[in-house]
Structure formats: structure tokens, C-alpha cells
């Protein structure tokens, strides 16, 4: 099984969107895939996959059974909280214990890939994930502007200490104006590619800022299964990832 973490130095750049859609795209290709939401304070995976009303996970022979969407196995702390709006108020050691438990007690079955969605930054949860999962690769998500790039550089340096294969994706990379068809570089352009070259990591591609992507997330449907252009761009990115990892 290959374990791939999806992370970034920055919040809100689309990590969870990318993680859920990589996992779903791999499932569509026929692989056996698990998706672990390791964002304990802001778990977004259930919403993105339309599992937000799911409460509790089945237990069989003392092991937790992941939830499933179209064959993709999913575990999020959200499924184990008393309600959708319950916060997790834990210090570092509690978070580590929880993640340790998840790695011990979830019966993923036989997987080809485990995709792990991380919270922003390089804090407690990420350190635990790298210790517990010993990932094969890290996919780092950035947006084009330097405010994001500066933090993402830190995340790359963090990942370099722990994992051999590091990939960068630029998300929210330009918007095609629905009125005139011209591209608007809302957050600038090319920052991701330049950063990848500078840091010696492989650049996987640019995902445009696309209202269709946002809408799919809102509706709990992975956008990668649709036919619009940015979904095609994303499928190409996943093809490259499969060849690499
Ligand atoms: N390429 C895109 N085009 C349009 N909307 C996008 C795109 N990528 C992500 N979004 C939207 O941006 C918002 C943030 O995305 P997401 O939750 O995946 O970010 P994140 O990096 O995981 O955030 P956090 O740091 O809070 O975990 C969501 O509403 C999502 O639908
Ligand atoms: Mg997220």
C-alpha cells in the first residue's frame, strides 16, 4: 500500500478538495483506496463527499469499519463526534493518541492507496501522521501568490525531512471569466511552478479557480467525476501521480 499525505503550509488553499478528489479519482481507476481525514479541528472530507450526516462507524471484531462512497473507504473524526457542530478541544498529546488509535483500530482491508488529508501548517497532527504512517509521498498544495508560497516553502522543507517523494500542485490558478472567456489571474500566476523548480520538487500542474469545483464541494460530489475542463486537468494530474508513486 502506498501512503500519500496531502498538506500545505497554508490554510484554505484546497488541500481537502485535492485529497478527496485524488482518492476518488484513484477509486474510479479501479484501485482500492482509503481516505483518512486527519484534520481534527476542521474536518472537511465528510462534507466534500456528501457524508456529513453520517454518525458513528460500525465496529466489527473490535475494529472500526470505514464509511464508504462508491467504493472509496473514508474515516474522519467527524463521524465520531456527538454532533456536526461539536468542537474538538484537545491538546497535542490527545491528538496524537487519537491518531495512533485510528492507525491501530481501523480495518481498512487490503488497500492500494491511503490518502491522508492534513490540517494546515506543520503542527501536532502532521508530526503524528508522519511518525505513525511513514508516508511514501507528500502532495503539497499551494496557491500562486507569495503570501501562500512563503508558508508552503516551510511545508516542503518539513516534508523533505520525512519523505522521499514530494509533489506540488498549484490550486486556484487563474479564473476563466464566464462572460468574456479571458483568464483572470486572481492570485497571480506561476508561483507554484517557480517554487517547485527552486525547491527541487516535481510540479504536478495547475488547477484553475472554478465555480464548478466549489459547487461540487458544496453539494458533496467529487468534481473529478464530471466532464468540465478543470476536472479533466485534475484527472491528468492524478495520472501523473500514479506513474510517479
Ligand atoms: N480550484 C478551486 N476552484 C474553486 N473553489 C475551490 C477550488 N479549490 C478549493 N475550492 C474551495 O475553496 C474552499 C477551501 O477548500 P478546502 O477546504 O479544500 O481547503 P483546505 O486547504 O483543505 O482548507 P483548510 O486549511 O481549512 O483545511 C472550499 O470551499 C472549496 O470548495
Ligand atoms: Mg482541509
Which ligand neighbours the alpha carbon of 174 most closely?
1
What residue spans define the domains of the chain? Answer: 2-244
- pLDDT of 216 higher than 90: yes
Closest ligand relative to 37 C-alpha: 2
Q: Is the pLDDT of residue 178 over 90?
A: no
In angstroms, what CA-CA distances link 62 with 57, 72, 106, 108? Answer: 12, 21, 9, 13
Ligand 1 atom with least separation from CA of 48: 31
Contact 16, 45 (CB under 8 A): yes
Indicate left, alpha or beta for 32 from its phi (over 0: left) and psi (-120 to 50: alpha): beta
Q: Whose CA is nearest to atom 30 of ligand 1?
A: 214
Residue-level pLDDT at 188: 85
State percent of the chain over pLDDT 90: 91
- Contact criterion met (CB below 8 Å) for 95 and 127: no
* 202, 166 Cβ separation under 8 angstroms: yes
Q: What's the confidence (pLDDT) of residue 146? A: 87
- pTM (predicted TM-score): 0.97
What lies within 8 Å, CB to CB, of 28 at 6+ separation is 224, 225
* pLDDT value, residue 74: 98
> In the predicted model, what is the mean pLDDT of residues 165-189?
90
DSSP assignment of 83-96 equals STTPPP---HHHHH
Atom nearest to 210 CA in ligand 1: 3
**2-244 belongs to CATH 3.40.30.10:** no
Q: How many CB atoms lie within 10 A of CB 95?
A: 21
Decide if pLDDT at 189 tops 90. Answer: no
Chain-wide mean pLDDT for the chain? Answer: 95
Residue ranges lining ligand 1, Cβ < 6 Å: 8, 11-17, 39, 42, 44, 119-120, 171-172, 207, 209-210, 213-214, 217
Q: What is the pLDDT of residue 30?
A: 98
> What's the pLDDT score for residue 181?
78
At residue 176, the pLDDT reads 79
Tens-place pLDDT, residues 18-40: 999 999 999 999 999 999 999 99
Q: What would the pLDDT profile of 27-80 be if each residue is shown by its tens digit?
A: 999 999 999 999 999 999 999 999 999 999 999 999 999 999 999 999 999 999
Residues 128-173 have pLDDT tens digits of 999 999 999 999 999 999 888 999 999 999 999 999 999 999 999 9
- How far apart are the CA of 102 and the centre of ligand 2, in A? 18
Contacts of 21 (CB under 8 A, 6+ apart): 222, 223, 224, 234, 238
- How far is the centre of ligand 2, averaged over its atoms, from the C-alpha of 141 (Å)? 11
Give the confidence band of 99 by pLDDT, cuts at 50, 70, 90. Answer: very high
Q: Whose CA is nearest to atom 9 of ligand 1?
A: 14
Q: Are 7 and 104 in contact (CB under 8 A)?
A: no
Atom of ligand 1 nearest to the CA of 218: 31
| Ligand 2: centre distance to CA 179 (Å) | 30
Residue 182 has pLDDT above 90, yes or no: no
Which ligand 1 atom sits nearest the alpha carbon of residue 17?
18
| 35-39, 87-91, 108-112: least confident range | 87-91
Amino acid at each position: 500500500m502506498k501512503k500519500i499525505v496531502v498538506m500545505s503550509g497554508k490554510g484554505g488553499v484546497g488541500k481537502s478538495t485535492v485529497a478527496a478528489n485524488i482518492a476518488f479519482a484513484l477509486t474510479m481507476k479501479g484501485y482500492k483506496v482509503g481516505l483518512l481525514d486527519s484534520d481534527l479541528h476542521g474536518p472537511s472530507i465528510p462534507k466534500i463527499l456528501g457524508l456529513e450526516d453520517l454518525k458513528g462507524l460500525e465496529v466489527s471484531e473490535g475494529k472500526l469499519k470505514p464509511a464508504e462512497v462508491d467504493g472509496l473507504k473514508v474515516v474522519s473524526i467527524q463521524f465520531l463526534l456527538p454532533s456536526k457542530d461539536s468542537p474538538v478541544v484537545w491538546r497535542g498529546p490527545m491528538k496524537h493518541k487519537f491518531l495512533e488509535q485510528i492507525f491501530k483500530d481501523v480495518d481498512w482491508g487490503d488497500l492500494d492507496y491511503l490518502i491522508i488529508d492534513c490540517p494546515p501548517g506543520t503542527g501536532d497532527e502532521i508530526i503524528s501522521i508522519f511518525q505513525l504512517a511513514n508516508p511514501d509521498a507528500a502532495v503539497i498544495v499551494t496557491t500562486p501568490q507569495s503570501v501562500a508560497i512563503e508558508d508552503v516553502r516551510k511545508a516542503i522543507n518539513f516534508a523533505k525531512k520525512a519523505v522521499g517523494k514530494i509533489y506540488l500542485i498549484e490550486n486556484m490558478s487563474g479564473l476563466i471569466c464566464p462572460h468574456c472567456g479571458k483568464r483572470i489571474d486572481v492570485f497571480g500566476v506561476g508561483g507554484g511552478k517557480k517554487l517547485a523548480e527552486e525547491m527541487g520538487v516535481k510540479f504536478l500542474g495547475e488547477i484553475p479557480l472554478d465555480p464548478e469545483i466549489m459547487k461540487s464541494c458544496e453539494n458533496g460530489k467529487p468534481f473529478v467525476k464530471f466532464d468540465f475542463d478543470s476536472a479533466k486537468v485534475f484527472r491528468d494530474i492524478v495520472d501523473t501521480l500514479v506513474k510517479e508513486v
